């Protein structure tokens, strides 16, 4: 590490306002949280430009996951420990900024004491100054500074006041840490007496501390309703149903707009480019693929927005507490709620969020069942399938309810899987549930909006290249080798490379009511689930082109699609239901598999997960198709 | 500590007993001897107990709650 470089690390309890300070210091769009464990891995940023003038040397700042103590118990707390003491990328920090919540001094000073014991250079930052000032509470920073023999700063996360003084304090002569020996985590434990001394310090350095009660009062009033034995459950179910049903209710006009934009783009290309193979590829391959998937961005955005709202408002921690008892029967705890709920967005960060769970056993169970939850990549598939089932019925309310039903169904399946695992995996005794409930705060709309937009953009960035590559392969595979002009569409596509390859899969696919075109979609979906829709957009559009039906939506292509052999409609209620069941259970995402290997500590569990999910998905899809076929003829 | 408490009942912690890791975590969450806590009730589904301690609301299961020896104030 260069001698002229400052490396700073932020340490603090969950909900202490650490990530907010990190955002102010680095200008990065890292998450602000009201829930433990949201900083899944440590993040690093450089000092924001307007603060650079106050600091003489290049400064990097690292944000670590929230920790109550420097004696690590959860994976998350180990991340904090290792990112400070065993960080091969940045080395030891020159300065630790211990961030503590000014409304929780007596509890959080213990972390400061532990940091002091490490022997590393540190300064204290007391947050939530806006709340304290509102209640006329003053913290005597000099007294705290004297006790710990270091500088103490007040910081207001809402307006950022105090930031410049904090930045100025980064100017100090950098000590070489080469002879520093990482402390023993066990030596960090404080005695009862030490806790009590810190409590005395907290009390003596807080003027008007009786006013602290007022800050909590509003929250307690809300909790009377939201954690009420009966009303609490009603609100919980209503909030969750509203979240998932609103994906349908609010997205329709936005989805129409995206659809229109792509139709115009396609038309523009048709008009501007001369007729060629490239134009065909661009319009029928690339644009059709992206349109099929990106049309669901509004729904994904709404999901992310809703989750950010629940997180930032403080409700998510309550939801975890409400669900704790029911989860206990499954061998889980309320702590699993956030990773599982995140699983409804994407399995990858969800598996990482499971590091917050202190019990190894519970973490393994949660990581195992996360891919069963309806991740956003399934949304395009479900939306298409529901639109098919709802043909001729424009009732958005029912469509929304079906969607909410699918989300709930995923929970039931996951619960069943958890029950099974609970029987298989040996119990451990390190499980406990102690959770802090942060005060309710009104989230800043701009913050929610940016966060939801960033996450949706990440989704596009992640899915984009995959959609492009797969669309190229699928388009080429279904268009080549070129047949003679007079050959009909069915024969032409069957003679194509993918057609020839696909016929080998027919025996496996026909029991679930699918043909090889759907099969190609299913195979492609193992790259990323949403690719299933874009693949169908290419394979199904072939007929339409031949019949000169331009600009037909994917949905009508599905309605008109015929089985090449029998001539019967390919997509029927039984076959679509079979596909939905398959998508509900199958583990098709390679990224998830890679992360699962890492998070479950090796190949064994990850392979078990991959194989069992896909085999069960296939069997249930066949059973669904076959049994529904009896009713629908 | 058997709990048949009413909402709003205030206690003083007289001792914390149980598995070491649990006692330590309770300490870190702000529970230690002589600390005052207020009982806020129980979460839905007869779930975790809710305690308030100097501006912090903490939810904990019965197993963890029973580690706290409490004295009514």
Average pLDDT for A581-590 = 89
Decide: A507 and A521 in contact? Cβ < 8 Å.
no
Give the residue, A548 or A623, on which the prediction is more confident: A623
Tell me, what's the pLDDT at A400?
A: 80
Q: Residue A478: which pLDDT band, with cuts at 50, 70 and 90?
A: confident
**Residue A20 CA, distance from chain mean position:** 19
Strands (E), A329-450: 434-437
Q: How far is A90 from chain B (nearest CA, A)?
A: 29
Give the residue, A34 or A389, on which the prediction is more confident: A389
pLDDT per residue over A289-335, tens digit each?
777 777 767 877 887 888 888 888 889 899 999 999 999 999 999 98
Q: Which two tokens stand for residue A603?
A: 């190949």
Across the beta sheet with B36-42, what order do the strands follow? Answer: A434-437, B56-60, B49-53, B36-42, B10-16, B68-72
pTM, whole model, 2 decimals?
0.79
Decide: A362 and A332 in contact? Cβ < 8 Å.
yes
Helix or strand run (H / E) with residue A542: helix A531-546
ipTM above 0.85, yes or no: yes
Q: How far is B25 from chain A (nearest CA, A)?
A: 8
**Spatial distance between the Cα atoms of A139 and A129, rounded to a whole number of angstroms:** 9
Label the pairing between strands B36-42 and B10-16. antiparallel
Quick check: A202 pLDDT over 90? Answer: yes
Q: In 3-state terms, chain B is what percent helix, strand and coil (to 5)?
A: 20, 40, 40
Q: Residue A178: which pLDDT band, with cuts at 50, 70 and 90?
A: low
Q: In 3-state terms, chain A is what percent helix, strand and coil (to 5)?
A: 65, 5, 30
Give the residue, A596 or A466, on which the prediction is more confident: A596
Interchain proximity A321–B43, CB inside 8 Å: yes
Q: Residue A36: which pLDDT band, with cuts at 50, 70 and 90?
A: very low
Q: Among B26, B27, B45, whose Cβ lies nearest the Cβ of A322?
A: B45
Lowest mean pLDDT among A67-71, A324-328, A612-616: A67-71
Q: How many helices (H) and strands (E) does chain B have?
A: 2, 5
pLDDT per residue over A507-541, tens digit each?
888 899 888 888 888 877 876 787 788 778 777 76
Tell me, what's the pLDDT at A599?
A: 82
- Closest chain B residue to A327, measured at CA: B47
3-class DSSP assignment, residue B51: strand
CA neighbor of A123 nearest in space, from A140, A92, A142, A148: A148
Bridge partners of A61, per DSSP, are A8, A45
3-class DSSP assignment, residue A54: coil
Query: Around B55, how many Cα atoms within 13 Å sit in the side-chain half-sphere?
Result: 18
Q: Which two tokens stand for residue A70?
A: 């420097």
First-last CA distance in chain A: 72
Average pLDDT for A201-216 = 87
Average pLDDT for A254-275 = 86
Q: Which two tokens stand for residue A544?
A: 């339409």
Ramachandran sector of residue A48 (left: φ over 0; alpha: ψ -120 to 50; beta: rest): beta
φ, ψ for residue B3, nearest 5 deg: -110, 110
Q: Which two tokens stand for residue B36?
A: 């005052």
Contacts of A140 (CB under 8 A, 6+ apart): A204, A205, A206, A207
Q: Which two tokens stand for residue A295?
A: 């049309």
Give the residue, A550 or A245, on which the prediction is more confident: A245
Quick check: A40 pLDDT over 80? Answer: no
Lowest mean pLDDT among A143-147, A434-438, A542-546: A542-546
- On average, the pLDDT of chain A sits at 83
**Spatial distance between the Cα atoms of A357 and A351, rounded to a whole number of angstroms:** 11
Q: How far is A432 from chain B (nearest CA, A)?
A: 7
Show the CA angle centred on residue A405, arms to residues A400 and A409, nearest 5°.
155
Quick check: A35 pLDDT over 70? Answer: no
Interchain proximity B52–A220, CB inside 8 Å: yes
Q: Among B32, B35, B48, whose Cβ lies nearest the Cβ of A321?
A: B48
**Spatial distance between the Cα atoms of A342 and A308, rounded to a whole number of angstroms:** 10
Decide: A36 and A14 in contact? Cβ < 8 Å.
yes
Helix or strand run (H / E) with residue B71: strand B68-72
Lowest mean pLDDT among A85-99, A221-235, A308-322, A486-500: A486-500
Tell me, what's the pLDDT at A463?
A: 67
CA neighbor of A297 nearest in space, from A243, A350, A254: A254
Q: Residue A39: which pLDDT band, with cuts at 50, 70 and 90?
A: very low
Q: Angle formed by the axes of helices A315-328 and A297-313, to 10°? A: 90
Contacts of A436 (CB under 8 A, 6+ apart): A13, A14, A15, A36, A317, B29, B56, B57, B58, B59
Q: Where are the alpha helices (DSSP H) in A100-159?
A: 105-118, 129-134, 141-148
**Spatial distance between the Cα atoms of A411 and A419, rounded to a whole number of angstroms:** 12
Q: Is the preceding omega at residue A487 within 30 degrees of 0, hence cis?
A: no
Give the residue, A445 or B22, on which the prediction is more confident: B22
DSSP code of residue A95: E
- Closest chain B residue to A236, measured at CA: B44
Tell me, what's the pLDDT at A2?
A: 41
DSSP code of residue A77: H
Q: Which two tokens stand for residue A399?
A: 């469509």
Q: Which two tokens stand for residue A398?
A: 């029912």
**Spatial distance between the Cα atoms of A10 and A74, rounded to a whole number of angstroms:** 18
Long-range contacts of A322-329 (CB under 8 A, 24+ apart): A322/A227, A322/A232, A322/A233, A322/A236, A322/B43, A322/B44, A322/B45, A322/B47, A323/A236, A324/A433, A324/B43, A324/B45, A324/B47, A324/B48, A324/B59, A324/B61, A325/B43, A325/B44, A325/B45, A325/B46, A325/B47, A325/B48, A326/B45, A328/B61
Residues in B touching A324 (Cβ below 8 Å): 43, 45, 47-48, 59, 61
Give the residue, A493 or A193, on which the prediction is more confident: A193
**Spatial distance between the Cα atoms of A462 and A79, rounded to a whole number of angstroms:** 25
Tell me, what's the pLDDT at A548?
A: 39
Ramachandran sector of residue A594 (left: φ over 0; alpha: ψ -120 to 50; beta: rest): alpha
**Spatial distance between the Cα atoms of A547 and A259, rounded to a whole number of angstroms:** 22
Which range in A49-63, A416-430, B57-71 is most confidently predicted, on average pLDDT? B57-71
Tell me, what's the pLDDT at A142?
A: 96
pLDDT per residue over A494-510, tens digit each?
788 888 887 888 888 88
Interchain proximity B34–A196, CB inside 8 Å: yes
Q: Residue A542: which pLDDT band, with cuts at 50, 70 and 90?
A: low
* 297-326 of A, contacting B, C-beta below 8 A: 321-322, 324-326
3-class DSSP assignment, residue B59: strand
Give the residue, A334 or A488, on which the prediction is more confident: A334
Interchain proximity B29–A436, CB inside 8 Å: yes
Q: Which residues of B touch A (CB under 8 A)?
A: 19, 21-22, 24-30, 32-35, 40-48, 50, 52-61, 63-64
DSSP code of residue A96: E
Average pLDDT for A464-476 = 77
Q: How far is B66 from chain A (nearest CA, A)?
A: 12
**Spatial distance between the Cα atoms of A549 and A343, rounded to a whole number of angstroms:** 40
3-class DSSP assignment, residue A100: strand
Tell me, what's the pLDDT at A28?
A: 53
Tell me, what's the pLDDT at A19?
A: 78
**Spatial distance between the Cα atoms of A87 and A185, rounded to a whole number of angstroms:** 16
Residues in B touching A68 (Cβ below 8 Å): 25, 28-29
CB atoms closer than 10 angstroms to residue A273 = 13
Tell me, what's the pLDDT at B4?
A: 60
First-last CA distance in chain B: 15
Quick check: A29 pLDDT over 60? Answer: no
Residues in B touching A236 (Cβ below 8 Å): 44
Decide: A558 and A544 in contact? Cβ < 8 Å.
no
Percent of chain A with pLDDT over 70: 91
Average pLDDT for A602-624 = 94
Q: Residue A489: which pLDDT band, with cuts at 50, 70 and 90?
A: low
Select from A77, A105, A106, A107 the residue whose CB has the most chain B CBs within 10 Å, as the one to mutate to test that interface: A107
Decide: A384 and A555 in contact? Cβ < 8 Å.
yes
Interchain proximity B48–A334, CB inside 8 Å: yes
φ, ψ for residue A528, nearest 5 deg: -170, 135
Average pLDDT for A211-221 = 86
Select from A109, A333, A437, A438 the residue whose CB has the most chain B CBs within 10 Å, as the one to mutate to test that interface: A437
Whose structure tokens read 């709990």? B3
**Spatial distance between the Cα atoms of A364 and A431, rounded to a whole number of angstroms:** 13
Tens digit of each residue's pLDDT, chain B (73 residues): 445 678 889 999 999 999 888 888 898 888 888 888 999 999 999 999 999 987 789 999 998 999 999 999 8
Q: How far is A433 from chain B (nearest CA, A)?
A: 6
Decide: A410 and A341 in contact? Cβ < 8 Å.
no
**Spatial distance between the Cα atoms of A424 and A368, rounded to a whole number of angstroms:** 13
């Amino acid at each position: 590490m260069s001698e002229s470089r400052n490396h700073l690390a932020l340490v603090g309890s969950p909900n202490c306002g650490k990530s907010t300070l990190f955002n102010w210091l680095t200008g990065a769009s890292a998450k602000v949280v009201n829930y433990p464990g949201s900083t899944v891995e440590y993040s690093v940023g450089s000092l924001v430009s307007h603060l650079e003038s106050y600091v003489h040397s290049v400064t990097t700042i690292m944000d670590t996951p929230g920790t109550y103590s420097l004696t690590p118990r959860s994976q998350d707390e180990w991340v904090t420990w290792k990112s400070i003491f065993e960080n091969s990328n940045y080395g030891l920090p020159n300065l630790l900024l211990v961030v503590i919540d000014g409304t929780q001094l007596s509890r959080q000073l213990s972390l400061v004491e532990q940091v002091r014991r490490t022997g590393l250079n540190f300064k204290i930052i007391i947050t939530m100054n806006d709340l304290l000032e509102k209640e006329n509470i003053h913290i005597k920073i000099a007294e705290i500074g004297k006790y710990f023999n270091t500088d103490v700063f007040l910081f207001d996360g809402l307006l950022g006041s105090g930031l410049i003084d904090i930045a100025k304090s980064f100017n100090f002569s950098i000590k070489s840490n080469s002879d520093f020996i990482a402390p023993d985590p066990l030596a960090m434990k404080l005695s009862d007496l030490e806790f009590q001394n810190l409590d005395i310090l907290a009390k003596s350095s807080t003027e008007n501390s009786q006013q602290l009660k007022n800050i909590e009062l509003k929250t307690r009033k809300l909790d009377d309703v939201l954690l009420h034995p009966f009303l609490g459950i009603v609100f919980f179910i209503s909030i969750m149903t509203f979240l998932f049903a609103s994906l349908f209710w609010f997205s329709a006009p936005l989805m129409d707009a995206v659809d229109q934009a792509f139709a115009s783009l396609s038309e523009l290309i048709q008009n501007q480019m001369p007729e060629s193979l490239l134009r065909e590829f661009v319009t029928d391959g690339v644009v059709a693929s992206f349109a099929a998937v990106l049309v669901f961005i509004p729904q994904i955005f709404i999901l992310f927005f809703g989750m950010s709202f629940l997180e930032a408002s403080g409700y998510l921690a309550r939801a975890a507490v409400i669900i704790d008892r029911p989860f206990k029967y499954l061998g889980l705890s309320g702590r699993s709620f956030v990773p599982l709920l995140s699983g409804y967005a994407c399995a990858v960060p969800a598996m990482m969020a499971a590091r917050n769970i202190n019990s190894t056993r519970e973490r393994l169970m949660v990581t195992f069942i996360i891919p069963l939850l309806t991740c956003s990549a399934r949304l395009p598939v479900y939306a298409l399938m529901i639109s098919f089932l709802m043909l001729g019925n424009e009732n958005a309310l029912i469509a929304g309810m079906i969607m909410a039903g699918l989300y709930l169904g995923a929970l039931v399946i996951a619960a069943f899987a958890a029950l099974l695992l609970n029987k298989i995996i040996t119990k451990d005794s390190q499980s406990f549930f102690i959770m802090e409930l942060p005060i309710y705060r009104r989230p800043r709309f701009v913050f929610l909006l940016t966060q939801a937009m960033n996450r949706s953009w990440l989704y596009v960035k992640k899915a984009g290249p995959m959609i492009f590559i797969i669309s190229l392969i699928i388009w080429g595979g279904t268009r080549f080798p070129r047949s003679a002009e007079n050959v009909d569409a069915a024969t032409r596509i069957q003679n194509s490379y993918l057609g020839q390859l696909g016929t080998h899969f027919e025996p496996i696919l026909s029991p679930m009511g699918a043909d090889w075109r759907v099969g190609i979609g299913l195979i492609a979906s193992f790259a990323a689930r949403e690719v299933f829709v874009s693949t169908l957009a290419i394979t199904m559009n072939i007929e339409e082109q031949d019949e000169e039906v331009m600009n037909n939506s994917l949905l009508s292509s599905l309605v008109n699609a015929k089985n090449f052999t029998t001539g019967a409609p390919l997509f029927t209620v039984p076959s679509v239901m079979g596909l939905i069941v398959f998508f509900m259970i199958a583990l098709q995402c390679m990224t998830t598999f890679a992360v699962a290997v890492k998070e479950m500590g090796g190949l064994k569990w990850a392979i078990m997960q991959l194989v069992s999910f896909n085999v069960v998905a296939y069997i249930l899809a066949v059973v669904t198709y076959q049994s529904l076929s009896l009713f629908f003829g | 500590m058997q709990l048949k408490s009413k909402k709003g009942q205030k206690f003083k912690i007289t001792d914390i007993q149980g598995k070491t890791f649990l006692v330590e975590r309770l300490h870190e969450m702000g529970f230690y001897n002589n600390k005052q806590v207020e009982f806020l009730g129980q979460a839905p589904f007869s779930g975790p107990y809710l305690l308030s301690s100097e501006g912090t609301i903490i939810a904990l299961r019965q197993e963890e709650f029973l580690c706290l020896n409490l004295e009514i104030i």
